[in-house]
C-alpha cells in the first residue's frame, strides 16, 4: 500500500514507531494530488508549503520524544466554507472568490492545537447549496469511482479527496445531508454530529438552524478520532452545547448485542433504487445476526420533511446571504448608484441555484406568506422531530439508506432541481430534528458505492459509532479503493 491509502490511525501508529515521517506522508499525499487532481478536481486551493512546514514541526516533536495527537502530521482537507486565517475561503462562489479571512474557525483552532496538517480547501456547491458539486462557481468535482459521475454535494470535494487518496481525512458541513450523501456516493464514512456539538463559529452560514461541521474519513475509527478533536463547547457560538466530550474511540467495540435498531418503514418507498434497498436490507440482516434486535417503527411525518426543508433552509439563506452586497467585502459589481451596485453585485456574484433559493426564501418570509409557508414549516418541523423522539423511546438507533440511488452521472440532473433535491430525501429529516447520523459503505451497485445511514439520539454519537464500527468489522467495503490512476 502507498502511504496515501492508509487510514489516519494506521499512519499515527507508523509515526509513533518511527517507520515513517510526517513529511513523507505529506509528500505522498501531494504526490497523489499531482497524479489525479486533474481528473477529480477536489481542491479549490492547495496549501502545500504550509502543510510541509507543519509536517516538519511534527517530525521535530517526535524526534524530541514529545507526545503527539492522533491527528498530528496527517494531511486533511477542509471544505471551503470553513474560515481559515490567511487562506482563501470562497464558499465555491464568485462573490467570495478572493476573500481571505482574518481569523480561523473554531474547528481550525482545535486542529492546529492537535498539529494537524492542512492540505487545502475543497470544492463545494456554491454556499453549500446543491447535491452534486456541480453548482461550484469554479468547476465541478468528479467521483473517484467513476469520473463521469458526481461525488455528491455539497461537500463533494471533501468526500472525493478522501476517496481518491488526496487527503487522509476531511471536514465537511451538513445542512441537509451534505456530509453523508457525498460520503455514500464516494464510498467513505461521513458523520453529521448533534446540532451544537461542534462549533459553527467560522462556518460561513447557509441555514443557521441546520448547519453542522463534521468529519469525512476512510473508516469509522478515523471518524471517531476527528470528532474527538473538533467537538466541544465554544463561547463564540451561542448554539454550542455544554457537554463533556468523551474519547469517541472508546465506543468502538465490535458488539451490538442488546442494541435495539429501528427500521422506519417510511424510508423504504417508491423511488428507492433496488440495489440500494437490497444492500441496506442485507446490512439489517447482518445486524440481526450479530445480536441486535430489529424493530419496525413508523415516522409518519417523514413525507413532509423535504417540503419543510425547502422552506426553512432558503428562508434562512435569504437572511444570511443578504450581507453579500458589495460594500464590506467580496465581489463588487459596478453601478451608477448604490442600488444599481447592489443589483449588479448580487446578480453577477451569485450562481443560478443560490439565486433560486434566495428568491424562494424571500418569498416564504414576505408579508402575507410568512404564516402560510415559513411559520407552518416550523410547526411541521416540530412534528418531524417528535417522530424521532417517539422512535427513540423504542430503539437506540435507526437504520436507513443514506441516498435513494448510487452516484448519478454528471449533468444528469443539473436542469431538474426537484430531481436533485430528492437525493437528500433520507438525510434531511436528521437535520430538521438536530440528531446525529453517520453514513458508511454497505455495498456496491456495479462499481459504485452504496451508503448505509445510522441515526442516533441527541448526543448519541458514541452509540452510532459503536454500531457502525461493529458493521464495518464484519465487512471489507471500507477497504476497497477507488480505481483511479495508479494504486
The DSSP code sequence of 413-430 is: STT-HHHHHGGGTTTHHH
Q: Does the residue 173 lie in any domain?
A: yes
Instruction: List, in sequence order, every residue forming a beta bridge with 450; answer none if it has no partner.
Output: 443
Q: Does the residue 75 lie in any domain?
A: yes
Q: Does the residue 313 lie in any domain?
A: no
Segments forming the whole domain that contains residue 125: 3-259+395-479
Q: Any residues with CB less than 8 A from the CB of 323 and at least 6 apart, and which?
A: none
Question: Structurally, how many domains does the chain consist of?
Answer: 1
Helix (H) or strand (E) holding 353: helix 352-365
Q: Which residues are catalytic?
A: 79, 154, 178
Q: Does the residue 142 lie in any domain?
A: yes
Q: Does the residue 338 lie in any domain?
A: no
Write out the chain's pLDDT in tens, 487 residues: 899 999 999 999 999 999 999 999 999 999 999 999 999 999 999 999 999 999 999 999 999 999 999 999 999 999 999 999 999 999 999 999 999 999 999 999 999 999 999 999 999 999 999 999 999 999 999 999 999 999 999 999 999 999 999 999 999 999 999 999 999 999 999 999 999 999 999 999 999 999 999 999 999 999 999 999 999 999 999 999 999 999 999 999 999 999 999 999 999 988 899 999 999 999 999 999 999 999 999 999 999 999 999 999 999 999 999 999 999 889 999 999 999 999 999 999 999 999 999 999 999 999 889 999 999 999 999 999 999 999 999 999 999 999 999 999 999 988 888 788 888 999 999 999 999 999 999 999 999 999 999 999 999 999 999 999 999 999 999 999 998 875 4
Count the helix, strand and coil residues of the chain and give each as a percent rounded to the nearest 5: 45, 15, 40
Cα–Cα dist 137/92, whole Å? 6
CATH assignment of the domain containing 235 = 3.90.1300.10
CA of residue 198 relative to chain centroid, distance? 13
Cα–Cα dist 157/189, whole Å? 14
Q: Does the residue 141 lie in any domain?
A: yes
Q: Does the residue 485 lie in any domain?
A: no
* Residue keyed to cell 466554507: 81
Q: Does the residue 170 lie in any domain?
A: yes
Amino acid at each position: 500500500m502507498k502511504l496515501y491509502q492508509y487510514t489516519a490511525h494506521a499512519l499515527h501508529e507508523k509515526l509513533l514507531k518511527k517507520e515513517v515521517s510526517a513529511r513523507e506522508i505529506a509528500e505522498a499525499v501531494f504526490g497523489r494530488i499531482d497524479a489525479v487532481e486533474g481528473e477529480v478536481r477536489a481542491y479549490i486551493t492547495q496549501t502545500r508549503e504550509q502543510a510541509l512546514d507543519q509536517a516538519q514541526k511534527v517530525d521535530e516533536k517526535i524526534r524530541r520524544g514529545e507526545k503527539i495527537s492522533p491527528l498530528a502530521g496527517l494531511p486533511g482537507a477542509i471544505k471551503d466554507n470553513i474560515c481559515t486565517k490567511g487562506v482563501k475561503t470562497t464558499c465555491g462562489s464568485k462573490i467570495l472568490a478572493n476573500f481571505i479571512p482574518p481569523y480561523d474557525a473554531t474547528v481550525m483552532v482545535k486542529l492546529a492545537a492537535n498539529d494537524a496538517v492542512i492540505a487545502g480547501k475543497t470544492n463545494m456547491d456554491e454556499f453549500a447549496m446543491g447535491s452534486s458539486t456541480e453548482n461550484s462557481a469554479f468547476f465541478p468535482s468528479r467521483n473517484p469511482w467513476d469520473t463521469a459521475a458526481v461525488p455528491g454535494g455539497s461537500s463533494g470535494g471533501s468526500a472525493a479527496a478522501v476517496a481518491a487518496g488526496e487527503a487522509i481525512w476531511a471536514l465537511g458541513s451538513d445542512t441537509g445531508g451534505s456530509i453523508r450523501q457525498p460520503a455514500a456516493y464516494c464510498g467513505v464514512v461521513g458523520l453529521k454530529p448533534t446540532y451544537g456539538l461542534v462549533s459553527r463559529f467560522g462556518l460561513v452560514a447557509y441555514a443557521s438552524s441546520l448547519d453542522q461541521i463534521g468529519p469525512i474519513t476512510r473508516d469509522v475509527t478515523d471518524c471517531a478520532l476527528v470528532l474527538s478533536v473538533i467537538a466541544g463547547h465554544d463561547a463564540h457560538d451561542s448554539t454550542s452545547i455544554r457537554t463533556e466530550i468523551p474519547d469517541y474511540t472508546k465506543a468502538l467495540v465490535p458488539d451490538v448485542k442488546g442494541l435495539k435498531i429501528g427500521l422506519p418503514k417510511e424510508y423504504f418507498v417508491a423511488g428507492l433504487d433496488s440495489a440500494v434497498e437490497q444492500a441496506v436490507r442485507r446490512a439489517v440482516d447482518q445486524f440481526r445476526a450479530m445480536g441486535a434486535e430489529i424493530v419496525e417503527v413508523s415516522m409518519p411525518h417523514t413525507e413532509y420533511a423535504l417540503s419543510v426543508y425547502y422552506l426553512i433552509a432558503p428562508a434562512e439563506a435569504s437572511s444570511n446571504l443578504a450581507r453579500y452586497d458589495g460594500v464590506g467585502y467580496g465581489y463588487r459589481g459596478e453601478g451608477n448608484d448604490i442600488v444599481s451596485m447592489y443589483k449588479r453585485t448580487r446578480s453577477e456574484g451569485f450562481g443560478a441555484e443560490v439565486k433560486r433559493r434566495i428568491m424562494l426564501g424571500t418569498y416564504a418570509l414576505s408579508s402575507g406568506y410568512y404564516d402560510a409557508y415559513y411559520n407552518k414549516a416550523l410547526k411541521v418541523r416540530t412534528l418531524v422531530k417528535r417522530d424521532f423522539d417517539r422512535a427513540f423511546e423504542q430503539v437506540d438507533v435507526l437504520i436507513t439508506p443514506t441516498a435513494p440511488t448510487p452516484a448519478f452521472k454528471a449533468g444528469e440532473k443539473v436542469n431538474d432541481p426537484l430531481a436533485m433535491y430528492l437525493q437528500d430525501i433520507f438525510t434531511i429529516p436528521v437535520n430538521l430534528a438536530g440528531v446525529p447520523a453517520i453514513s458508511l459503505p454497505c455495498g456496491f451497485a456495479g462499481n459504485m458505492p452504496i451508503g448505509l445511514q445510522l441515526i442516533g439520539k441527541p448526543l448519541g454519537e458514541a452509540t452510532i459509532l459503536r454500531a457502525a464500527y461493529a458493521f464495518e468489522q464484519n465487512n471489507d467495503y471500507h477497504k476497497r479503493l477507488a480505481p483511479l490512476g495508479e494504486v
